[in-house]
Structure 1
Amino acid sequence: MAELVYRPVIGLALTMFKALDLKIDLKGSENIPRSGGAVLVSNHISYLDFIFNGLAARPQKRLVRFMAKESVFRNKISGPLMRGMKHIPVDRKQGEAAYDHALDSLRSGEIIGVFPEATISQSFTLKSFKSGAARLAQEAGVPLIPMAVWGTQRIWTKGQPRNFKRNHFPVTIRVGETMEAPRDEYAGAITRRLRERVGEVLELAQRAYPGRAKGPEDSWWLPAHLGGTAPTAAEARTA
């Protein structure tokens, strides 16, 4: 079926990134399968993460269908685009329908994008992971793809103003090797292993990141363990 919305949106996003002069560093896209279903799993630090996650699959000529909160689909601007790109709305009170939709898509050979933290991490460190990604991979018999983005929080994140100025921000994207989700293994154990793998890939992205804080007033986007002033995970939970 022709992608009448998704591919033009990708083109628009690339044009916007060029206008902002973003310095995108992508490595590991060869770890994304060229065919067949898979669950793409990423950290979540920005409202724009799904766009950069999707770009990671572009060299393999794959499109990613992301699971996103249902309210995004009700927005008069984003809603038609999300539906046109065949992303999957998630009603957190009734998640069964979204799970079944994602499972059907995986079995039909799609890549499904999941943010297992369920919400943006304001500490920019990994929160605990929900087990849905592991359970989907187990039930569909497809691999998990751990990946990470870094630098996207400087453009648009929770609790900070959007910054769509031409700041030449670097954005680092790393895709790790696929991991299996055996059906006979406890989903919680797979989820713990998956979180460790995403954490390792995130650390690689952070180490490769060329941007530095310009001073104390510009260190809000760096987590405390990297010398920044972002709230710790404990502080973020109580904010």
Structure 2
Amino acid sequence: MTTSSHLFDANWYLTSSRSPSLLSRISPNLAFYAPMVWIVAKAGCDAMRNRYDGEGWTRSSEGIARALESVGCRIEATGLEYFRSLEGPCVFIGNHMSTLETFVLPSMIQPWKDVTFVVKESLLKYPFFGPVLASREPIGVGGDLVAVLEGGEARLKQGRSVIVFPQSTRSTVFEPAHFNTIGVKLAKRAGVPVIPLALKTDAWGNGNLLKDFGPINAKKAIHFEFGAPMRIEGTGKAEHLRITEFITERLGAWGREIGE
């Protein structure tokens, strides 16, 4: 994979200090969603014409990250060296807080590891965004977990890494009891390591009418932290516990509430 001239080139990233525009201060939602919709629409059109590849996905994702920064959001990403130095594909296992991570994670991972998501099949029906996701050959969740495991294993055997959010839905409160073991099971089945991922992305809120398009709050810092890779031994229960503990500890450090 190429690693030239991308936003998250270093193993650690922090948005540089900048002054948002007057429009961003008055209406961060308008200032963000206008370029965001344009980026997604263009990417969707390219995908429908079969002109959208991994590099295109990276650039679109970077565009979303820069749009967030332009309205005053601060992004901090650490631990990127853990997967960049890893040979072969892996399974990224993280908490799921908002739409933001789905849009921004490709810019961090794709230049170094070809990657896709385990996603709800309903997302593939979205205008423009659906074709973008479909072009990356995601694993759709439709209720059949065996199909998810088989599909994920096939992608991993092809050398493509997989991002899994083992929660039933996005939530600003992390509840370990609702964090299932699908990611660990997939990694064990395919014989690949897992990379824990803790994230805090509530700067992009959930909407009341449209959950994916909530308010942007630039005062809330955006955090991504990747943990050291681990191989699955035995049943995987120990590794699953270590992943949940990693996420819980990082969220606590970032001031987020932890559920039961």
TM (normalized to structure 1)?
0.74
CA distance in 2, matches of 1:171, 1:43: 14
Name the amino acid aligned to 1:37: P
Name 2:229's counterpart in structure 1: 178
CA distance in 1, matches of 2:74, 2:188: 36
Name the amino acid aligned to 1:42: G
Contact 2:198 2:246 (8 Å CA) reproduced: no
Name 1:148's counterpart in structure 2: 198
Name 2:164's counterpart in structure 1: 114
CA distance in 2, matches of 1:29, 1:84: 25
Name 1:29's counterpart in structure 2: 80
Q: 1:153 to 1:48 in 2, by over 3 A?
A: same
Name the amino acid aligned to 1:153: D
Name 2:106's counterpart in structure 1: 54
Contact 1:40 1:112 (8 Å CA) reproduced: yes
Q: 2:125 is matched with which residue: 74, 77, 81?
A: 74
Q: CA deviation at 1:126?
A: 4.1
SS at match of 1:153: coil
Deviations 1:115-137 (A, max 9, x none): 11232124345453211111111
Q: 1:168 to 1:63 in 2, by over 3 A?
A: farther
Contact 2:198 2:247 (8 Å CA) reproduced: yes
Q: 1:5 to 1:87 in 2, by over 3 A?
A: farther
Unaligned runs of 5+ in 1: 208-221, 226-232, 235-239
Q: CA deviation at 1:110?
A: 1.6
Name 1:41's counterpart in structure 2: 93
Contact 2:91 2:164 (8 Å CA) reproduced: yes
Name the amino acid aligned to 1:90: V
CA distance in 2, matches of 1:18, 1:108: 35
CA distance in 2, matches of 1:157, 1:131: 25
Q: 2:246 is matched with which residue: 191, 194, 197?
A: 197
Percent sequence identity over aligned pairs: 22
Aligned-residue RMSD, C-alpha: 2.7
CA distance in 2, matches of 1:126, 1:153: 18
CA distance in 2, matches of 1:72, 1:15: 23
Q: 1:158 to 1:145 in 2, by over 3 A?
A: farther
TM (normalized to structure 2)?
0.68
Q: CA deviation at 1:168?
A: 5.4
Q: 1:76 to 1:52 in 2, by over 3 A?
A: closer
Contact 2:230 2:239 (8 Å CA) reproduced: no
Q: 1:174 to 1:100 in 2, by over 3 A?
A: same
Unaligned runs of 5+ in 2: 1-51
CA distance in 2, matches of 1:158, 1:53: 21
